């Protein structure tokens, strides 16, 4: 691959974003590891965030780092087995991140729902099965993406090879048969289902927070020192995460279809797609850290003191 000024600029930009994302996700993982070592009890939401953050780390490593090295001019740093492993890993953690974010959104919606008997029973059942469902989801993603290593190979140097999509560091066999169309439909259906559930639960939460804000409006009116109301802050966090997630993974789904049916090499376009894909794994930890006071005290002491 011949490095151009555009590839170099994109490579440097991706490297800076990846470094920032890895620092953020590693901070959250280290925080939870510290809590586990010290014997602290983790809440159900923390368990989901653990899986989400771990998936985000692997997503950045398996997708962002290879593309950055490719844009910076490194050639053939992955062989056929390395390409199969790195692409299979990315497909697994991409699906797991999608499921974990959907689960987190639905669990938060149930948590802040009205405290009646029906919702209380649902909360107890959901809390009991959150952990096993996360483990099962990893297994489901392993099986659902088992075809990925078959379609991935090492970089193809010849430009006359047909039915191949080049990433610069790996290549992907493209086809337009019925089996591929059905497989793409299955993947898009799973993605669409999770995104729809997440969007519905987020709208539900925003609605509850808005109604609560109206009910306690007379209380907040006397507290002029509050620049941002708690309900507004919670609503903003939900909207930021959901909007970023939907955009990032919608772009990812489009790229999967584009990769499966396109022919030829479009490396600059691939780099742009990948940057949009990893926006959520990069942004997510900082949104979570800003929403957890104990994380601020542990990882950002200056903010904690302030």
**In order along the chain (306 residues), what is the average pLDDT of each group of 10 residues?**
67 85 90 85 84 92 85 79 90 90 85 74 82 91 90 69 66 74 82 86 83 66 52 67 77 63 50 73 82 48 41
Beta bridge partners of 172: 152, 165
Burial environment of residue 154 by CB neighbours within 10 A (0 to 12, 13 to 18, 19 or more): middle
Residues 171, 150: contact at Cβ < 8 Å?
no
Residue 58 lies in domain: 5-305
Q: Where are the strands (E) in 115-191, listed by range?
A: 152-153, 164-166, 171-173
pLDDT at residue number 301: 43
Residue with tokens 């957890």: 292
Residue 194 CA, distance from chain mean position: 12
pLDDT at residue number 142: 93
Residue 302 CA, distance from chain mean position: 28
For the chain, state the CA radius of gyration: 21
Q: Where are the strands (E) in 118-229, listed by range?
A: 152-153, 164-166, 171-173
Q: Which of 76, 58, 65, 247 is nearest to 157 (CA)?
A: 76
The three-state secondary structure class of 74 is coil
Number of domains in the chain: 1
CA distance 98 to 258: 20
pLDDT at residue number 53: 92
pLDDT at residue number 110: 83
pLDDT at residue number 136: 93
CATH number of the structural domain spanning residue 184: 1.20.1070.10
């Amino acid at each position: 691959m011949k490095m151009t000024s555009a590839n170099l600029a994109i490579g440097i930009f991706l490297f800076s974003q990846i470094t920032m994302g890895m620092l953020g996700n590693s901070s959250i993982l280290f925080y939870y590891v510290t809590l586990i070592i010290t014997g602290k009890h983790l809440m159900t939401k923390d368990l989901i965030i653990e899986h989400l953050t771990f998936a985000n780390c692997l997503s950045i490593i398996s997708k962002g780092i290879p593309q950055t090295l490719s844009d910076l001019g490194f050639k053939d740093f992955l062989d056929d087995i390395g390409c199969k492993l790195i692409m299979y890993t990315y497909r697994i953690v991409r699906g797991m991140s999608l499921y974990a974010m959907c689960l987190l959104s639905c669990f938060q919606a149930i948590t802040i729902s009205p405290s009646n008997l029906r919702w209380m029973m649902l909360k107890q059942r959901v809390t009991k099965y959150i952990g096993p469902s996360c483990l099962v989801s990893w297994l489901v993603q392993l099986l659902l993406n088992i075809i990925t290593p078959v379609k991935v190979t090492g970089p193809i140097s010849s430009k006359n090879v047909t039915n191949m999509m080049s990433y610069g560091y790996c290549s992907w066999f493209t086809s337009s048969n019925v089996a591929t169309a059905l497989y793409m439909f299955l993947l898009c259906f799973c993605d669409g289902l999770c995104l729809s559930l997440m969007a519905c639960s987020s709208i539900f939460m925003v609605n509850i927070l808005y109604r609560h804000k109206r009910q306690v409006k007379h209380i907040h009116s006397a507290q002029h020192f509050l620049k941002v109301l708690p309900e507004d802050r919670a609503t903003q966090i939900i909207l930021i995460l959901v909007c970023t997630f939907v955009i990032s993974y919608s772009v990812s789904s489009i790229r999967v279809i584009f990769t499966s049916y396109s022919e030829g090499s479009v490396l600059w376009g691939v780099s742009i797609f990948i940057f949009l894909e990893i926006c959520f794994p990069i942004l997510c930890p900082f949104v979570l850290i800003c929403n957890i006071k104990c994380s601020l005290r542990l990882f950002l002491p200056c903010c904690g003191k302030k």
